[in-house]
Structure 1
Amino acid sequence: MSMEGSETESETVQDPCCMNIPNYWGFQHADWHDSCLQKCVIGEKICAVFLSITGEVAARIFSEAQDANHKVDHLTSLTEGQIERLSQFCLYLLSKVIMENKFSWGDVMNLRLYIPTTLDMPMEPLSAIFTSAFNQLAEVDQRVKIDREPIFNLVPVLGAGKSAASMNDIITFELFAQRS
């Protein structure tokens, strides 16, 4: 067997899922992360991602941070600090999906954050929290370019979720990326 063939073999043995995926904000890959995501990638041209954060998922995020003060009892009980942690987790997962599928943040055409009105937090502080998280991401990952305008839209909704039967998400992200 030639040296070239053995190099190819060693490359295919590695799991592309975890290669070169930074662990922003201390998050580490866990199998349960995929339960938050629905994604559709067509070739290497189109990537659509739906990311749902329920109370149960939020509790797991906070418990992994070993922060007893971040217990989630009800949608209206989240603090700005908790929303900040959730925004960081969401950007970590979205970055992971983007990189795994060979896209970049520059390919993102649309990013919407659906925020239930039951969260009872004004849009300005929410926008500031998510803008700050994106700015932090841009500081640690030079591939992320942030202009003056936010690259996301906050959309207040009565309820959000994976289906009409479960409209109890705390935050729902909808991302659409396209490469030419």
Structure 2
Amino acid sequence: MEFALEAGSRSVSVEFTCGGGRYTVELSDSMMLGQAPLSGECAESPVTLTRPITDRTTETLSVIVDEGVDWTATPTFSDEQFGADTALAADCEQFSVIYSAFTNADYGYTFYGELDADQWAARIDEASAELEALAGSAQSELRENFEQLAPLVSARTDQVGEILAPEIQASISAISNACDANQTPPILRGEFGG
């Protein structure tokens, strides 16, 4: 839908409510802007979704909810620059590298046959050690998430080609959501395919 931007604004906070299920809200074309759409579970209380506005931001708002779900989006514009948390940004960047390593190990073994079991295990061991180190050194709110994720990963190091099991995805999603809200989304760097 059209979403008129207030002249001179440099950020916008959207108070968003929806009646049930999950939502995704995107201002302009997030991929083109190097930003992230914001997602979550609908709740009774409104959530505030803050986004930067640049000279490339277009006047379009996209909302994805389940069919028939009512929602509202009320914007408040500001001439203040969107302030990304630098510590969170650094932790998100480090996590991107580790998450990419786990993903590439699984894909390289399971889907592309480029890795054998020993190569997969060596990659998983290295990425697991990096995750443990990040859990100990993180300076942002994500430290607790990394501390929770590390033992979940360690418990699966014998599951060749399947480190990223569904039970791990909830922890990864929580990390990704925090990075997305900071507009420093994790970027997976694929090694195989494409």
Larger Rg: 2
Q: Structure 1-normalised TM-score? A: 0.26
Structure 2 length-normalised TM? 0.25
* Higher-RCO chain (CA-CA 8 Å, sequence separation at least 6): 1
